[in-house]
C-alpha cells in the first residue's frame, strides 16, 4: 500500500467505527476502500471483520446506559447470534468466491430496502397492535422471531459484515417496542459477539487469507471511531441516520456491481 492508501484505509476504519456504533453499516465504507487498494473480496471481508472488532467493543461500551433492562433479552439472543456467526464463517470459507461476489450486492440491497421501509412497517404493526397490549411482554411467537432473527443476522454477519447492524435494527425494531437508541445498544453487543467469533474462526482456519496490515489499520481507526460515534450518535435524530445509511448502501451496491 502507498502512503495515501494507508491513510485511506485508516480513515475508512475511523468512519466505519463511528457508523457501526450509531446504526451499523460501517463495512459499507471500509469494504469498498479495501477493494480499491487491491484486496480480493474474501480477503477484504476477513481483514475487515478482524479490524472492526475493536470498534464494536468501543461502541458497545459507549451505549452501556441504553442496555439497562435488556440483560435477559441479550442472554437469549447471544447464543443464536454466535451460532449464526459460525455458520456464516463456514459459508464464507467454503463457498466459491464467485458466489460471494454475486450474493453480496443482493444482500446489501435488501438491507438498504429494509432500513428505508422500516418506519412504515413499524407504524403498520403499531396500528394493528391492541392498544391495551402489555408493552413489556414478549410472547412465544415474538421470541421465536427474535431468536430466528438473531441467528439469520449472525449468519449474514459471519458471511459479510456490511449492514449486519442495519438488518438487526430492522428485524428487532419490528419485534420489540424499544427506541432506536436502545435497539442500537442491543445491536452493538450482538454485532460485537458475531464479529469476534467470525474473526476468531478466520484466524484459526484461514490465517493465510488475512491482510494483517489492512486489519490493523481498520482496527486503529475503528477503535477511535466507535468511541466518538457512541458519544455523539446517541444525540442524532433517527431520520438523519436512516437517510445516511440508505445513501451509503446504494453507493456500496453500485461499487460492488461495477467492480
The pLDDT-based confidence of 207 (bands split at 50, 70, 90) is: confident
Residue that wins the pLDDT comparison between 133 and 178: 178
pLDDT (average), residues 112-124: 71
Using DSSP, state whether 37 is helix, strand or coil.
coil
Quick one: cell of 10? 485508516
Ordered DSSP codes for 108-158: HHHHHHHHHHHHHHHHHHHHHS-TTS-SS---HHHHHHHHHHHHHHHHHHH
Mean pLDDT of 19-46: 83
Higher pLDDT, 227 or 255: 227
Backbone angles phi, psi at 179, to 5 degrees: -70, 160
Cα atoms in the Cβ-side hemisphere of radius 13 Å centred on 86: 5
Q: What's the number of domains the chain is made of?
A: 1
Q: What is the mean pLDDT of the chain?
A: 81
Q: Which domain holds residue 94?
A: 3-258
Model confidence pLDDT, tens digit, residues 156-175: 888 877 677 777 877 887 78
Q: How many Å apart are CA 138 and CA 24, to the nearest integer?
A: 25
Per-residue pLDDT of 142-156, as tens digits, reads 889 899 999 998 998
pLDDT at 107 over 50: yes
Amino acid at each position: 500500500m502507498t502512503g495515501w492508501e494507508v491513510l485511506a484505509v485508516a480513515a475508512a476504519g475511523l468512519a466505519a467505527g463511528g457508523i457501526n456504533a450509531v446504526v451499523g453499516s460501517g463495512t459499507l465504507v471500509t469494504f469498498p476502500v479495501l477493494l480499491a487498494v487491491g484486496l480480493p473480496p474474501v480477503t477484504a471481508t476477513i481483514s475487515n471483520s478482524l479490524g472492526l472488532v475493536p470498534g464494536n467493543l468501543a461502541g458497545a461500551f459507549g451505549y452501556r446506559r441504553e442496555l439497562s433492562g435488556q440483560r435477559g433479552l441479550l442472554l437469549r439472543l447471544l447464543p443464536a447470534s454466535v451460532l449464526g456467526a459460525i455458520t456464516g464463517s463456514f459459508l464464507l470459507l467454503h463457498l466459491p468466491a464467485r458466489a460471494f461476489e454475486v450474493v453480496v450486492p443482493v444482500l446489501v440491497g435488501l438491507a438498504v430496502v429494509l432500513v428505508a421501509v422500516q418506519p412504515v412497517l413499524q407504524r403498520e404493526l403499531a396500528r394493528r397492535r391492541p392498544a391495551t397490549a402489555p408493552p413489556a411482554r414478549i410472547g412465544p411467537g415474538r421470541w421465536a422471531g427474535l431468536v430466528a432473527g438473531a441467528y439469520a443476522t449472525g449468519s449474514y454477519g459471519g458471511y459479510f459484515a456490511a449492514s449486519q447492524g442495519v438488518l438487526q435494527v430492522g428485524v428487532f425494531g419490528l419485534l420489540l417496542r424499544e427506541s432506536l437508541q436502545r435497539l442500537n445498544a442491543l445491536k452493538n453487543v450482538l454485532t460485537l459477539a458475531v464479529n469476534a467469533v467470525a474473526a476468531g474462526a478466520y484466524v484459526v482456519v484461514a490465517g493465510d487469507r488475512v491482510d494483517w496490515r489492512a486489519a490493523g489499520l481498520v482496527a486503529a481507526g475503528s477503535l477511535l471511531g466507535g468511541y466518538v460515534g457512541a458519544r455523539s450518535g446517541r444525540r442524532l435524530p433517527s431520520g438523519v441516520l436512516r437517510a445516511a445509511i440508505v445513501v451509503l448502501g446504494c453507493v456500496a451496491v453500485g461499487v460492488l456491481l461495477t467492480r
